[in-house]
Each structure stands twice: as structure tokens, then as C-alpha cells.
Structure 1
Amino acid sequence: MRSQSHVFSAFVVYLLFLLLSQSVKGYSIRSVAPRSNGTALQNVAIYTPGQRVSATAPFNLTFTLEEEEDRTIKLALEPNHDLMIQDPHINFLGDGEVRTEFLRRDNHKVFKGVAHVQSLAYRWEKVGWARMSVVRDGLDPLFTGAFSIEGTQYDIKLRPGSSNQARREMLVYRIHDDSSSPNPALSTLISLQPRQWTPTLDSSDFISTIGDDSGCPSDRQIALVGIATDCTFTASFDSSEDLTSALIDMVNTASQVFESSFNIALSFHNLSISDSACPSTASSSEPWNTPCSSGDLNSRLNAFSSWRSNLRGDDNAYWTLMTGCPTGSEVGVSWVGELCGEMGVNVVASAGNQWQVFAHESGHTFGAYHDCESTQCSLSSSSRQCCPLSANTCSAGAAYLMNPVSSSPQTEFSPCTVGNVCSSLGRGRVDSRCLTTNTDTPTVSVGECGNGIVEVGEECDCGGDCDGNACCDGATCRFRGDAVCDSSSGNEDGDGSCCRDCQFLSRGTVCRASRGECDIEEVCPGDSGDCPNDETEDDGSSCGDDSEDLFCASGQCTNRDLQCREQISGDNSTISSCGNSTESCILSCSGPFSSGSCSNAGTVLDGTPCSNGLCSSGVCRSATRDNPSNESWIDRHRALVIGLSAGIGGLLVLVILACLVCCCCRKRRPKRMRPVPVAGALAERRAGVLMRGNRGFVPGPGAQVAGVYMPPPAYTPAPVGPGVRPTAPTSFRYA
């Protein structure tokens, strides 16, 4: 039965992918990554005592570029505390076994900060951002990462070809735009349209939200990221240490644009590294780990999606598969808007501009669509499914990260992408419930004042620079004076949600207003600086006008018709859900584009009622949201059934044993002998034997009665019956 169940589950997953391939939007990206030849860094200096760098302390770093020796560059760096939280670890895969190692924060010195250049007046001017990892400190330091100066990006990498750290040196690459010299290979590439085209959105849908970030979180949120490497990607590195460092750099750099655009940081949560030797056939445990000849990026995406959907206890926002197998010029592919869901996966192939490709595919996972290109702008707005530059300008000029063709100068998301993602998050079209915060995450490291994380024994922790903090003493991590909370630890307005001027806001003060009938208003408790967690009405509960069959789903009062109208522009009177839509979690809509026919528009909002429960990540589950609705009652309550069966069975065994013991140990009462009848009563009592229960005497053997000799009676076996002891032993046997 177990094997049959597994076969059936695999078949269901396969059918699910066939269905999603017609409804869930997957996008690919092509790469053109011109870069300069690397040059050496000069005059490198670390400004700390002994030029030593701590993983938890800020520092300044200066250097000059070979072609610009007269201009000093300073990177003001601080620890990126959001990058590795909740026990990040590495799983080494091979020979059917998994070996796990935890990442120690002090072994990975990862920083973020600001780039400055020195002006002619010897003043430091802010000119860009910086993301760095320190490989070696001291007088001869090594570090890797990226920084920008007035829009120009520079990558710092170690010179390849030497595994001896003592002999390694840094090279800086100036990334430039070579769009004036088009790559001839691009002229033969396939259409820029997405791999799966659905008529659910057009450019006019994005115009109203261009540049609007109101739907994004006001407090910093963190998305936990899982990464797996197949054999082809692992083989491109000299060691697992180099591979791990490269991927940490990739996530650290990409996180910069997510933080600045959406106020969401990316966290390197876990890494699964395959062996560098590719298997002859894919294993069932890692079906995505295959050589390049086994399939294209799309097949790897499907295999990786199946693998991720079977993970248990996975709390990552999404997973990325790193591969060394591009498909032609395509270097990435992703499902769109599947953050926090089982389909939240993407595939990224090796590329020179690795972090940009990773950021692009991650953008799709967050719900971003491609920016419009000039070739698409010749189409009508209802026919193109892309993000325009503005309400009046279609083409984004290939200047941003969500351009269908990736090139290195792209380091930002377009205003249209910002509005697209933030509105999807704010309306609940993209699930964000898996996002976490740094203050709520446990840590196994010893508490250290000044690392920006409030740990056991600390009242506050304002990080390395607390000079302007009126609430928290950065040297002791204790509150100053009569302060009871830290106003600076809250949102960008500095009020700490329920903390203002270092004091708790009064009980009942609204700290998060209701966004509608299905969203509950949160108020300050009066004894804490934190606003309570965001609460919503139960999914599936009724709301609004009963005649419209509205229900609560993910904090919104909605129904399937309204969800279709949110996805499709046009006359609302002509847009509605259709088909057998109430049974599944696929949103089927009809509208002016479809001539009355149904078209799949993705998945419904989580919490939308379905045949046997509520939808969650595109799957109909029971009301507990943890068990598929097609499972039996016994399957859904397996622990209860096992416990009750064991308890009742044990009780029955004890009862049977008790009965057996009683039968063996019971005392047998002596049975009375029935008296032998005699012919008559005796007058004399000679040599007689008195028989109890009789009124006379029975003469003994050889006695004389009235002078007549009475012989002994003949032997007669005593009868065996109720109340009579048997004349011979009787054996008993238990059945």
C-alpha cells in the first residue's frame, strides 16, 4: 500500500505540472554580459586596529584603481546581519547520503555599505553602494564583492587558477554597457515573449501602480533563500569553500536591490551541494542533478519544482537551482508570483553577471514581469504583457534588471517593477506570509553587544553606530535614562510602531489600521514597543453583501469574479470567473479577450474556498491548511488513530491476562460425598459409623445386627455428577 501511495502521489504531482504549464507563468532570461579585462587594486588599506576585521563590527576600506590612481575610493562597511539567520547550513549530497555542516557567522565576514570618493576639497562624497566579503584581513587583505560609482558597477573577484590563498590576488572588473555594438548571435534568438503566454495582463494593468511602493512592508522583512547546485555547477569551482563564498556574495549583492526597492532582504538560509561527478541517471531524491545533455532549463525547472514540493518542514521563501547548463543564450527561468508557495523555485545558469541573473529570476518569484522592449511596443497595449517605463513611454530602454535580455549595467528595478511587485504583495496576490524579521529569529551564537540584534541579556542593540540614539546605549546595550523602548528600531518613521520618544504608546493606540472588512485592526498593548502580529479574519468566512457570495481570503473580502477583475483590465461587466472554478484552485476567467471562452489566469488567492476546503499555494487543502483535501480521515488523523489503537489494544491484552490468572489461581471448594443408602434403620449402634446428615447409623463391615452377621457391601463406583467428587483424578486443558 505504501508503494502504491507513492506511485499515486508522483502521478498527481506530474498531472499538477501539466496543468500548471498551461496556467502558471514562467519566464526566461537571455544573457549578454560584456565586461572589461580585470585590473589590480592598489593601495589597499583596512582602517581597524591591526587591520583586523571582525564579522560583527563595521570598518572602512580604501583603495585606488589602476587607471585612476589619483582618486581614492572608500567603502564604509557594516555587517549584513540579515544575510545569515536561523542556523544557515550546507548539505553535501553524494552516494545517497547527506552530510550537514552549519555556517558559522564568524567564518563568513559579509558586509554591506556605501561607496565614497574623495573630492578635490578632500571631502568624502557618497557615490554608490557596496557589498563585500572579506576573505583575508591584515596588511595584505583579500576581499570579493561589488560596488558602484555614479551608476557604474565594479566587480571584485579573486584571480582564478590558484587554490593557494597566500598567492591569490584581487582583480577589479569595470562593467560597461556595450549596447552600441550588438552581439551578432542575438539576431537569431527566439521571440522575447515569455515561455508561457497567458492573456491575463497587459501593459495598461501596470500603469496605475508605477513607482508606488505602498504595498511593500514598512518594516524590514527577510526572505529565506534555499540554493541547490547541480553537478555541472559544482564542477566549475576548485573547492566547496570557493563555491559557497561565491554564492554568499551573489545573494549579498542581489539583496541590495531588493532592500532598496521592496524593503525586503534576502537571507542565505541553506545550500545543497551536489558532487562534481554527474550521475549516469538521475536519482529519485535529486531528479534535477543531471548532466547538460539530459534536458534544457525548462525540464530542470519542472524537476526542481517537483523536488521542492516534496520537502517537509521547509520554511524558505523560495529555492534557486544553480546549473552550468544554459539553454542556448537563455540563462534563467522562473515561475512568476509563487513566493512562499511550493512552486516558488527558479533556475539560474552560470553567467558572468551572476548576481543580476539571480536578481532577475528572484524578481519573477516576487511577481515581477519583464520590462517592455521596443519590439513589443509596436503591439497594442492589450496585446503586450510587459511593464512600461511610464504612462506615456512604453520601452524601458533595457536599463533595468527585469529586461528580457540581461546585461551587466542593469543594477536596479524599474519604477514599474516596484509598483508591480509592491501592489501584488499589498493585495495578497503574492503570498508574503513566509517572510520573517531579524528580531524574531533565534540565534545559537553567543550574544554580542553591537551586532544590531537584540539577544538574551540585552535591552536594545543599535548596532555599531549609536551616537544619535537617545534611547539605547550602544556600549552596554541598555536603555538610556528612563527609556523603556528604542524608537529607532521600528519603521522608517522612527516611531517603533508602538514606541515614541523612547516610551510605549498608550494601550489601544492604533499601530496598524484595518485594510478592509477581513483585516483586523491592531492596537498597541501599552507595555511593549512592538505592534502585535498582523491578524486577519478566518479564511472562508462570509463578508460583505450576502447576495454576492463574498468571503475572506488572505485578509481580503473577495470572490472569484472580483479576483478575475483584478487581473484583467476592461469593462468589469464583461469579466467573470467561469468553468468548474469553485472546485479547483486555478482561477479561470472570461472576458473581452476570450470571446466567451475560459482562460486560466493563474491561481486564486490563498484561503479561497474549493471543493473540500481552502486553497493554499494553488492546492486545495482541508480547513487545517496542512492536509490535502483528498486524504482520508484516517490519513489526516494518523497520529490519533495510532494512539487510540495502541491504547485500546493494550487494555484488551491486560483484561485477557487478568482472566487467565484468575482461572489458574482460583481455589476449589471440597465436594461432599453422597451417603450410601441402606435397607433400613438400625436399632443398635454397634461398630457403626455415624454419617452426618442421616438420622441413624450404618453398621460397619462385619458387624452383627440382631445376631445376624452382615457382610461388607460389594464395591460400587461412586457416580460422577454435579456436586460429586470424581473417583479418579481428572485433567484439564486450556484452549
Structure 2
Amino acid sequence: MRKYQMTGVEEGTQARQEEHAASSGPELLRKKRTTQAERNTCQLYIQTDHLFFKYYGTREAVIAQINTTSDEKDPTNPFRFPNIGVEKFLELNSEQNHDDYCLAYVFTDRDFDDGVLGLAWVGAPSGSSGGICEKSKLYSDGKKKSLNTGIITVQNYGSHVPPKVSHITFAHEVGHNFGSPHDSGTECTPGESKNLGQKENGNYIMYARATSGDKLNNNKFSLCSIRNISQPICGNGMVEQGEECDCGYSDQCKDECCFDANQPEGKKCKLKPGKQCSPSQGPCCTAQCTFKSKSEKCRDDSDCAKEGICNGFTALCPASDPKPNFTDCNRHTQVCINGQCAGSICEKYDLEECTCASSDGKDDKELCHVCCMKKMAPSTCASTGSLQWSKQFSGRTITLQPGSPCNDFRGYCDVFMRCRLVDADGPLARLKKAIFSPQLYENIAEWI
């Protein structure tokens, strides 16, 4: 397990090594490679406990994206007790069967000890348990667990953290699930550098301690993390460099076309003799190890691309033909450009998207509207529902998606289309109320 902490205490090297050594979790009855991903899409299972629900106040505020446990007295709610430590909280999540998902996370509003904001099992090539797509199995403590799990809290030392801190915490824990340990060494911890130019850019996502989220590197993975995450390994279900196919380990492989990862070197992750392809290579290969015919669909259509059709001579699904440029997408808030939902709906009418900001005298209700302006004319910025653009949008107000930045990037739109301002100084203001030594406070100020 890995903790992402917001703390003012410097960790010693020995303490970090001990944490890593102690974090391998329960001993697996039979060891094998655990990080297994499905090609390029990972399906997440996200739920919240009743305390998270209580903080946001209404079911409507979270129901669109999250399955919520709202009743603290519900005996089926494993998180109903208020005084659960962070390790136990993760264990409760792990005791559920999450085989249908790559990762499963619980969001809560609890103040865990030592400033812990998140905790997750780490994927590793060494055979230890945990990480992305780890299946539920029996461990030596006699319990079945899914270790493709993690937890996130939005509370720290009695106060709520800004959304951007929670976002980085979530990315940090998912980084652990994908097999990245904490960053270390001068190359990957520039925020600790004595060089002011490097220090100013801050640390990366997998830094072991707190970050404010507003420095250049804060929302990026370091080269150390990328190397750990991208390491090719036979048995993870994804065909990588040096592999012909990858159907997993012997207890997972249902593929008659591919040698599983338990086979000797030279055979594992190779096609069996006489086989044309393996379903692990792509959706255009049959279970009988032959290419599918040209007429078979291999990908559903999307907002901006037509359905994919097999070509009859490769297991991969060929690229889909794009739909016409300026086709509406993303719930009519954007348009398609070259097969990608990448343009603003404003571009459809030869306008540019702009931000309706309160400083411009805009009504607060418009802060979560899609706003457009004439090219190179910021003074014409107005909501799509305004009279100014009634000819283009027929009086229809187009709103931003929940979670979109608003009010000139000062906040985020909620599900009720209200712009919730972010208090970027929140963590620092809370720490000022605490009693610290001057030297320690200077260190904390640098981290924040």
C-alpha cells in the first residue's frame, strides 16, 4: 500500500525504505505478475461513502458519476462506522469483488491520521500482489480480496482540500496502481533541488509528500514514473514490444492461440505453431485463431468517428473514418475536428470560445455557460443563450460539462451549473493556525 500524505514532517530515507518494505500487503498463496491492463481503455469503478455524500449535501450532486452509499445505518454499507483508520478503510474496499473493473476507488470525507489523503495497492513486476486489474483471490489470511483498489479523502486536518489537490491525489494513487513507486533522486524530485530554476517548477505527481497543484510539474508524471509504468511484461494481457501475443498467466489464459506467461522463455507470449493470430492482439481475431472477415464490426461509432470494420488481414481494428468536421459532440458543447471531439461549438459559427467571468460584469448564472466571441474581439464575449448570439444558437443556452473550469479558471462548474470558486490558499491558511517551529514552517510554505 502507498499513502499520499500532506504533512509537515520530513521523511527520513530509512523510514521511506521501511514503509516500502512493509507495504507489500498479505502474502499471496501463489505469486504471479499482477498489473494487467486491457489495451488502451481502463474501466473504473468509483463509489463514495455516506460521509462524502453528507459533505456535498444532495444525491443529485454525485449521482451522475458515482454510486453513493448515503445511509450510515445501512447494514450493507461496509463504511458505515465513523472511526475507521485509513488501512482498514482500504481493506474494506478490497474485500468487495471488483473483477469486472480495472480499478475500484472509494471517495470519502474523513480526516485520516498523519494527513493521509489517499492510499492504494501498488502494481509491481516482481510478483507481489496489487495493482491494476488484479483479480479477487484468496490470501494467506483466509480472506478473498481485490487489490486493484484505492481510496481518496477530501478532508485533511479538519478542513477540506481544494479540488485540484484531490485531483492530484487521485492521479498519484492511480500511478501506484499502474506500478509507479514514489519519485526519488535528483532527476525526479526537482522541487527539492538547490537550483532555483528547477525548484520553481515543483515536483511531479508521484512525489512522496504534498504539492499545491499550481506548479508546472505538479500534474505531470516524471521520467521515473513513466519508465516504471511502461515497462513491458509478459502476462499483463497487453501486447507490448517483443511479444507476439499476451493472454495472461495459465489460470487466466483462455486463448488457444497463444502460449501463456507461465511457459519457458522463448515460448511465452508467442503464437502457437500454425496459428494466424490471437484475440489478445485485437478484436479482429477469432477464438479459432484466424482473422475475422472484412464485413465484421470491431468498434462502435462515436460522436466523431464511424464504426470500425475489420479488414480481413490483421487482428487490429483499423482506424475509423471520421465524421464530417463541425459535427456536434460532447453533448453539443464541442464539434468534431478530423475525427476528434476537439473544437468548441463556437467554431461552428466562425466564432471563438471565451470565458464568461464575473470581473467582466457577467451574471453569475452565466459563468457555467459556453460563451463565444467574434474573433479577436474579447468585448463581444457573451453566453450562447444571449440575444447577441440568438441567430446562431436560436436562443438555446449551452452549458459547460460538470467539472469544467469557470470564471476565468477561478473555479469549477458543479452539476447544478454553479461556479464553485477554489480557495487556492486553503492549505496554507490552515497551517498558519497550527503551531510549528519557524524552520519547519518555512519548509511547509515551500511545499505548499
TM-score greater than 0.5 by the shorter chain = no
Larger strand fraction of residues? 1
TM-score of the two chains, using structure 2 as the length reference: 0.37
TM-score (norm 1): 0.25
